[in-house]
């Protein structure tokens, strides 16, 4: 009896072993096949993705898409972005001072150290242009670059050699678009009454605009004594936007200019004016070591007219990055709920 029971158990164990081994053998290739198939599927998709990117680049080169069309596409994409991504605490701006004003409602959308008095570098040239235009000087009058226009403060270079002649209009274009210091200084120096009277007019204009924390010492911004606050500069940009000449010249992407019989190409110092995703009416950049990199703009963002002021950005692309972060935040509808501090 015991012998029969033992043999039955042994036979059962042998049957169990016989069934389990093939099962394990079958399961192993199945797993291996899935991994292999997964790799094949992934590699098969890669060429299609690369092809679509390439096609997108070709389409961009071949066709200029109107700004309005870009915005409608951007809005559709932005609907998937959660508001939490752009909460005020997460709107990480790297400029030391930032201010965004909704011109339609007068509402402050972003405020980061907006009352700090800081050097403003070539942002000063917007005031220079307004003072020249207010004086109603002949814009077609030929003016020249002299020794007095050479930068003795920072030793910066210029593409305008001493003796270069141009119209006052061209000098203003180069000052606003390409931030040419010699052109800006020549505009101030050849103002009725001279440079000292011009600087007085700059400060008088600032006072009239309510820029109570601002001071101008010269027309280029090379002096660190040209100072203002982000709030004051929002007033200045708003005023500058009332001048058609400033709107056109400050947002010109590039220009071919005839100087002393040679055609030279000048480019805008703000790369964003060339972007189809931005609708900019006034633009000015600035940089000296004391001021860091600065940017002011009057633009339409999320169908709202706004003034954006960014001061003392350390990195070369920080001010552009901050401007794009503000734009994305506004387009996500995060700016529609009131005052935001950054």
- Confidence (pLDDT) at 339: 52
Sequence-distant (6+) residues with CB within 8 A of 185 are: 148, 149, 218, 219, 220
| Chain segment 129-142, per-residue pLDDT in tens | 999 999 999 999 99
The answer to whether 220 touches 126, Cβ cutoff 8 Å, is no
Give the residues across from 292 on adjacent strands: 288
Q: 333 pLDDT band (50/70/90 cuts)?
A: low
Residue 84 Cα distances to 89, 109, 225, 336, angstroms? 9, 16, 41, 14
Catalytic status, residue 144: no
Annotated active-site residue in 95, 97, 122, 214: 122
Percent of the chain at pLDDT > 90 equals: 68
pLDDT value for 86: 41
Query: How far is it, in rounded angstroms, from Cα 202 to Cα 129?
Result: 10
pLDDT of 19 > 50? The answer is no
pLDDT for 260: 86
Q: For this structure, is 125 an active site residue?
A: yes
Position 143 confidence tier, pLDDT thresholds 50, 70, 90:
very high
Q: Walk me through the domains of the chain, giving residue ranges and CATH numbers.
A: 83-337 (3.40.710.10)
At residue 242, the pLDDT reads 98
Average pLDDT, the chain: 80
Dist CA 139 CA 29 (whole Å): 83
Active-site residue (options: 71, 112, 125, 284): 125
DSSP-derived 3-state class of residue 92: coil
Q: Tell me: the pLDDT tens digits for 223-259?
A: 999 999 999 999 999 999 999 999 999 999 999 999 9
Least confidently predicted of 37-41, 144-148, 149-153: 37-41
Q: Evaluate whether 196 touches 216 at the Cβ level (below 8 Å).
A: no
Q: Give the model confidence (pLDDT) of 253-293 as tens digits.
A: 999 999 988 999 999 999 999 999 999 999 999 999 999 99
What pTM, to 2 d.p., does this model score?
A: 0.73
Whether the per-residue pLDDT at 320 is higher than 80: the answer is yes
Q: Is 40 a catalytic residue?
A: no
Task: Measure the CA–CA gap between 311 and 114, rounded to whole angstroms.
Answer: 9
- The confidence score (pLDDT) of residue 342 equals 60
């Amino acid at each position: 009896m015991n012998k029969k029971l033992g043999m039955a158990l042994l036979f059962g164990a042998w049957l169990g072993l016989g069934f389990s081994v093939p099962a394990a053998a079958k399961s192993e290739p199945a797993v291996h096949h899935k991994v292999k198939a997964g790799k094949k599927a992934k590699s098969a998709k890669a060429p299609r993705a690369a092809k679509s990117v390439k096609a997108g680049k070709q389409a961009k080169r071949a066709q200029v898409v109107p700004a309005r069309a870009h915005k409608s596409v951007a809005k559709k994409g932005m609907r998937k972005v959660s508001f939490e991504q752009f909460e005020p605490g997460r709107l990480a701006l790297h400029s030391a001072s930032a201010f965004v004003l909704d011109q339609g409602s007068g509402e402050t959308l972003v405020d980061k150290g907006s009352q700090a008095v800081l050097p403003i570098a070539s942002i000063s040239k917007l005031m220079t242009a307004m003072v020249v235009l207010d004086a109603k000087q002949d814009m077609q009058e030929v003016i020249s670059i002299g020794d007095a226009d050479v930068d003795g403060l920072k030793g910066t270079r210029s593409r305008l050699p001493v003796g270069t002649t141009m119209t006052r209009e061209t000098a203003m274009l180069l000052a606003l678009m390409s931030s040419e210091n010699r052109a800006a200084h020549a505009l101030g120096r050849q103002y009725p009454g001279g440079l000292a009277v011009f600087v007085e007019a700059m400060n008088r204009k600032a006072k009239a605009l309510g820029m109570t924390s601002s001071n101008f010492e010269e027309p280029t911004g090379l002096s660190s004594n040209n100072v203002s606050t982000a709030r004051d500069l929002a007033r200045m940009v708003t005023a500058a936007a009332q001048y058609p000449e400033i709107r056109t010249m400050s947002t010109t992407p590039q220009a071919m200019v005839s100087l002393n019989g040679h055609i030279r190409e000048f480019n805008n110092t703000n790369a964003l004016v060339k972007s189809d995703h931005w609708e900019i009416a006034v633009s000015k950049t600035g940089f000296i070591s004391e001021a860091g990199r600065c940017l002011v703009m009057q633009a339409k963002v999320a169908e709202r007219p706004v003034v954006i002021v960014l001061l003392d950005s350390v990195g070369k692309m920080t001010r552009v990055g901050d401007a794009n972060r503000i734009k994305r935040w506004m387009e996500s509808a995060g700016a529609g709920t009131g005052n935001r501090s950054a």
